[in-house]
């Protein structure tokens, strides 16, 4: 005798199947063993309830993704990882509360990373990612949430000691300071340079040279990835625009707003790439194609367009200045002439 599944059971099964990765209606139908129109109807209900979202919709197929909203870009983690994260977050909150403190989002996330990255916690299987403000747990650490201990950590005492150690060392520091220090601890050059860049640009006054020196280092640190050529290409475009403005005898600080905007957009673009890179390399790496196609591809494209718009804005300032500028005025040093002489026969052709 066939036992008919209840509506609720089918919906739960759909959600269960969507846990690992997004699926088309046809794929869900096969896994849940139901017909296309039933699945389509339930997906409609789940969509209204905010539990799934349609991420690709064409004439031929619709692809749905589960929306838990507790990880960055809804990138999936396993149930086991989710429980471990929640338990770790609960222990951190408990320790802060014991001291009469509430952690900021940054303190919370950086404390969690401190524990995960310490071998003695035995939690190194929990995924962490490099993103806008440095290394963070892939599950969003939200201090306003009521986390519970969902599993018993084998090394709970050690973990609690590590939390205490982190709060002792960092409890009184500002979020920005903790971030900057973390970038240095992990030696992430690009993040260190980004910190330095924003620090200089937020000073009351600064000289062109201060910015140019950081940008030259940023050029060296910028990743070159043949799968994402735009990371390097757009970075160099931004850096060269700023350098060229300086060559046209312009005080860069007169264009602080435009430069801050363009660099901020560049950073958002690069940081998302860094997140992608973190999750597709090393332990428990995710499938590159899926991660791009279902989770970050659209956002990356949006950020690229935003960056290109701010490049256009600064470029129009540059072109305006260029029209009144005579390039032959610039003196080429002997060294630069020598570089040019070496490259004379280079045509750039493929």
Sign of torsion over alpha carbons 241, 246, 249, 252:
positive
- Compute the distance between CA of residue 22 and CA of residue 24 in angstroms, rounded to an integer: 7
Output 146 or 344, the one with its CB closest to other proteins.
344
Tell the smallest beta-carbon distance from residue 105 to other proteins (Å).
35
* Binds other proteins by CB under 8 A, chosen from 98, 224, 285, 312: 224
- Applying CB under 8 A, among 186, 198, 206, 219 the residue interacting with other proteins is 219
Q: Cα(8)–Cα(335) distance, rounded to whole angstroms?
A: 74
> What DSSP line would sit under 49-106, residue for residue?
TTSEEEEEE-SS-EEEEE---SBGGG----HHHHHHHHHHHHHHHHHHHHTT----HH
Which one, of 219, 103, 223, lies nearest residue 167 by Cα?
103
Q: Specify the residue, 187 or 327, whose C-beta has the smaller distance to other proteins.
A: 327
CA-to-CA distance for 321 and 309, rounded, in angstroms? Answer: 19
How many residues at the interface with other proteins, by CB under 8 A?
Answer: 41
Choices 143-151, 163-171, 210-218, 254-262; region in contact with other proteins by CB under 8 A: 210-218
Q: Does 281 bind other proteins (CB under 8 A)?
A: no
Closer residue to other proteins (CB): 80 or 338? 338
CA angle centred on 309, ends 240 and 246, rounded to 5°: 25
**Residue 228 found at the interface with other proteins (CB under 8 A):** no
Shortest distance, CB of residue 332 to other proteins, whole angstroms? 6
Q: How far is the CB of 342 from other proteins (least distance, A)?
A: 5
333 forms part of the interface with other proteins (CB under 8 A): yes
Residue 227 binds other proteins (CB under 8 A): no
Tokens 């002489």 sit on residue: 341
For other proteins, the binding residue among 206, 232, 255, 292 (CB under 8 A) is: 232
207 forms part of the interface with other proteins (CB under 8 A): no
Determine the Cα–Cα distance for residues 261 and 11; give it in Å rounded to an integer: 45
Beta bridge partners of 65: 53
Which is closer to other proteins, CB of 74 or CB of 236? 236
What whole-number distance in Å separates Cα of residue 147 and Cα of residue 151?
12
Cβ atoms of 13 and 5 closer than 8 Å: yes
Strand partners, 135: 130
Q: How far is the CB of 322 from other proteins (least distance, A)?
A: 6
Kindly tell me which residue out of 243, 256, 288, 293 binds other proteins, with binding defined by CB under 8 A.
243
Least distance from C-beta 291 to other proteins, angstroms? Answer: 23
- Confirm or reject binding of residue 350 to other proteins (CB under 8 A): yes
312 binds other proteins (CB under 8 A): no
For other proteins, the binding residue among 1, 3, 157, 220 (CB under 8 A) is 220
| 319 is a contact residue toward other proteins (CB under 8 A) | yes
Q: 170, 72, 128: which is closest to 180 by C-alpha? A: 170
Cross-strand pairs, 24: 63
CB 66 within 8 A of CB 18: yes
The answer to whether residue 257 forms part of the interface with other proteins (CB under 8 A) is no
For residues 149 and 90, is the Cβ–Cβ distance under 8 A? Answer: yes
Distance, in Å, from the CA atom of 151 to the CA atom of 134, rounded to the nearest integer, reads 28
Residues interacting with other proteins, by CB under 8 A?
212-213, 216-217, 219-220, 222, 224, 229, 232-233, 236, 240, 243-244, 247-248, 319, 322-323, 325, 327, 330, 332-333, 335-350
């Amino acid at each position: 005798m066939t036992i008919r599944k209840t509506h609720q059971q089918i919906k739960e099964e759909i959600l269960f199947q969507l846990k690992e990765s997004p699926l088309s209606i046809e794929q869900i139908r096969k896994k849940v063993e139901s017909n296309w129109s039933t699945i389509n109807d339930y997906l409609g209900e789940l969509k209204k309830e905010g539990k799934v979202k349609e991420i690709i919709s064409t004439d031929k197929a619709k692809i749905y993704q589960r929306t838990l909203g507790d990880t960055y870009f809804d990138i999936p983690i396993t149930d086991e990882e989710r429980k471990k994260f929640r338990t770790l977050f609960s222990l951190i909150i408990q320790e802060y509360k014991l001291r009469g403190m509430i952690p900021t989002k940054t303190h919370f996330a950086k404390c969690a990373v401190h524990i995960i990255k310490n071998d003695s916690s035995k939690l190194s299987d929990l995924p962490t990612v490099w993103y806008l403000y440095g290394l963070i747990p892939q599950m969003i650490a939200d201090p306003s949430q009521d986390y519970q201990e969902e599993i018993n950590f084998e090394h709970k005492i050690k973990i609690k000691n590590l939390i205490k150690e982190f709060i002792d060392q960092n409890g009184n520091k500002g979020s920005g300071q903790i971030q900057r220090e973390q970038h240095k601890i992990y030696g992430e050059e690009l993040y260190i340079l980004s910190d330095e860049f924003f620090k200089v640009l937020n000073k009351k006054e600064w000289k062109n040279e201060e910015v140019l020196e950081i940008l030259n280092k940023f050029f060296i640190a910028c990743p070159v990835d043949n799968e994402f050529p735009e990371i390097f290409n757009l970075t160099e475009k931004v850096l060269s625009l700023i350098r060229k403005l300086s060559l046209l005898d312009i005080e860069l600080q007169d264009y602080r707003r435009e430069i801050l905007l363009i660099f901020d957009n560049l950073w958002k673009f690069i940081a998302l790439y860094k997140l992608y890179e973190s999750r597709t390399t090393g332990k428990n790496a995710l499938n590159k194609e899926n991660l791009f196609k279902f989770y970050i591809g659209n956002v990356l494209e949006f950020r690229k367009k935003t960056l290109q718009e701010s490049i256009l804005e600064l470029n129009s300032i540059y072109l305006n200045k260029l029209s009144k500028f005579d390039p032959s005025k610039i003196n080429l040093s002997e060294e630069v002439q020598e570089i040019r002489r070496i490259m004379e026969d280079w045509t750039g052709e493929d």
